[in-house]
Amino acid sequence: MTNAGVFVVQTVFGLYLMLVIIRFMLQLAKADFYNPLAQAVVKLTQPLIGPLQKVMPKTGRFSLATLVLGFLVQLLLIVMVLLIAGFGLPNPVSLAIWSLIGLGSQVLDLLFFAILGSIVLSWLAPQTNHPGAYLLQQLTEPVMAPARRMLPNLGGLDFSPILVFIIINLLNMLVIQSLAQSFGMPRGLVMGL
């Protein structure tokens, strides 16, 4: 029962956290919010982000409320998993640090799979006008463009995704996993760690 409860909590909260992270990434990328998928993300996240936006100012390209909501959802997910699994709660500082580590891990995972999805779509339907393909391209372009500038032009071959995958994996191994281990974060507390 414990494993099933942890699975359900991680799945439900993980999916909502993914939507919040996508909204944050859409804001950073200045994506087209008239895209039907972007509108769906906004509609699903607005009930919780709306009240936070009234209190927290918008800074630059993104709303601080979105980032805070992502942190709070991750924090709540960790607390619920610990309680369901029968562990006691650690001190609030450890919870906050674990939440930041989990949030960073989720951002890297989402970016990895968004790039992977855009690669697959470029092979299967290179000239598609589907809103999902366009949204993936908008989400990944802020990371892919600098990688393309770093690599020489090889005609029709684009090796920038490989460079970005290497960087994502290095960040995951050298930063996220090292921080998780340094701060005593239990394995499996957050999906992907």
Does residue 101 form part of some domain? yes
Does residue 42 form part of some domain? yes
Does residue 107 form part of some domain? yes
Chain centroid, CA 174 distance in Å: 18
Does residue 99 form part of some domain? yes
- Give bridge partners of residue 63 from the DSSP assignment: 58
- Contact of 115 with 165, CB cutoff 8 Å: yes
Does residue 93 form part of some domain? yes
pLDDT at 66: 94
Q: How many domains does the chain have?
A: 1
pLDDT at 61: 74
- pTM for this structure? 0.90
Does residue 86 form part of some domain? yes
For the stretch 31-64, pLDDT in tens is 898 999 999 999 999 999 999 999 987 777 778 9
For the stretch 116-140, pLDDT in tens is 999 898 888 877 788 888 999 999 9
Which of 96, 84, 117, 118 minimizes the C-alpha distance to 2?
Answer: 84
pLDDT at 124: 85
pLDDT at 36: 94
pLDDT higher than threshold 70 for residue 1? no
Which of 39, 2, 9, 44 minimizes the C-alpha distance to 190?
Answer: 9
How far apart, in whole angstroms, are the C-alpha atoms of residue 76 and residue 81?
9
Query: Percent of the chain beyond pLDDT 90?
Result: 65
- Contact of 151 with 160, CB cutoff 8 Å: yes
Does residue 49 form part of some domain? yes
Mean pLDDT calculated for residue range 99-112: 95
pLDDT higher than threshold 90 for residue 169? yes
How far apart, in whole angstroms, are the C-alpha atoms of residue 104 and residue 183?
14
pLDDT higher than threshold 90 for residue 104? yes
Instruction: Dump the DSSP string for 85-111.
Output: TTPPP--HHHHHHHHHHHHHHHHHHHH
- State the residue range of the domain holding 56: 2-182
Query: Percent of the chain beyond pLDDT 70?
Result: 98
User: How high does pLDDT run on average in the chain?
Assistant: 90
Does residue 161 form part of some domain? yes
